[in-house]
Structure 1
């Protein structure tokens, strides 16, 4: 399935370009994602997706196949596989940046293929989830780009070391919560129908046994 999203960030296009290639800086803005390693071209990590009571973790890589700085165009090919299951996910993401009213407009086209449990929701649900996730990413990215990167004030006196705080686990992408009540209701109807069909099949098998 092909998805198309657009968002804007309040910085010049060259600044936005550098930021989007700074994977470690923007990683916290990626819902459900954990970056384990990045060598300038290949990203290795995982993405967690929650489907009702089930959490699915995909592990894989994303490779920058194209980084055209003059055209401000990048192509990213990502692929992953469920850590506990046979489901897979593969996406070719093409991002194009352009100037708009002093900021940057980002256009993202995604050619997505998903197998396994999340695939049961179909294009409509995944598109709505994608819209909201891109919106969350854009808001987070805008906040990060507005943060100063150079220190202009003298450093504060060093404080005694405090016990290390436990690292908070990355929260999975909750498909039902992210999609919203209307979509969740449709998904619930589909799920209920599937359960009833399964029960009916088992009853028939029991009767014929």
Structure 2
């Protein structure tokens, strides 16, 4: 499925570009994500997603396939697999930055493929969740960019064996809570229907036994 999101940050485009490539700095703004290692091109880490009472953890890598500073365009290819299951997630994320009213407009296009439990929600729900998560990321990023910093150059890339320490425990992305009550209600109806169908089948089997 293809998703498209846009947001703005209150800094010049060159500053925003450097910030988005500073994985250590923006890691706390990425919902559900933990960054373990970063060598300047490849990020290794995990993402936690909560589906009802079940928490699914995807572990994998994200590789910067393109970093065009002159065009302010980056392409990130991420892939992961459930640590306890067969589900997978793969995304090609293309981000472009442009000037807007003294700040920076960020456009993100994502080609996403998901298998496993989260896939049951379909494109509509995942798009709603994506909108809210991007909004949370943008707000967090804007706050961090407004914080004073002594850095005048991009941070030196971490060595592959050097971990990125999270500031606080990472909370999983709660699909039902993030999507909102209307979506949760639809999911609950589907689940209830499935349970009733299962009970009906068992009753029929019992009568014919």
Report the TM-score when normalising by structure 1: 0.90
Q: Distance in 2 between matches of 1:193 and 1:199?
A: 10
CA distance 1:52–1:144, change in 2 (3 Å): same
CA distance 1:168–1:22, change in 2 (3 Å): closer
Report SS of the residue matched to 2:45: strand
State the Cα distance separating 1:78 from its structure 2 match.
0.4
Q: Distance in 2 between matches of 1:160 and 1:54?
A: 31
CA distance 1:199–1:8, change in 2 (3 Å): same
How many residue pairs match? The answer is 209
Report SS of the residue matched to 2:57: strand
State the Cα distance separating 1:34 from its structure 2 match.
0.1
**Which of the pair has the greater relative contact order for Cα pairs under 8 Å at 6+ separation?**
2
Structure 1 residue aligned with 2:106? 106
- Equivalent residue runs for 1:46-57 within 5 Å: 46-57=46-57
State the Cα distance separating 1:202 from its structure 2 match.
3.3
Structure 1 residue aligned with 2:178? 178
Q: Distance in 2 between matches of 1:63 and 1:2?
A: 19
CA distance 1:193–1:106, change in 2 (3 Å): same
CA distance 1:41–1:195, change in 2 (3 Å): same
Q: Deviations over 1:50-92 (max 9, x none)?
A: 0010000000000001111111000000000000111100000
Q: Whose radius of gyration is greater, 1 or 2?
A: 1
CA distance 1:72–1:186, change in 2 (3 Å): same
Q: Deviations over 1:32-59 (max 9, x none)?
A: 0000000000000000000010000000
Report SS of the residue matched to 1:163: coil
Report SS of the residue matched to 1:71: coil
Gaps of 5+ in 1: none
Q: Is the 8 A contact 2:37 2:163 kept in 1?
A: no
Q: Is the 8 A contact 2:38 2:158 kept in 1?
A: no
Report the TM-score when normalising by structure 2: 0.90
State the Cα distance separating 1:205 from its structure 2 match.
3.8
Gaps of 5+ in 2: none
Report SS of the residue matched to 2:148: coil
CA distance 1:115–1:153, change in 2 (3 Å): closer
CA distance 1:163–1:109, change in 2 (3 Å): closer
CA distance 1:160–1:21, change in 2 (3 Å): closer
CA distance 1:9–1:156, change in 2 (3 Å): closer
Q: Deviations over 1:139-184 (max 9, x none)?
A: 0000000001129999999999999999742100000110111111
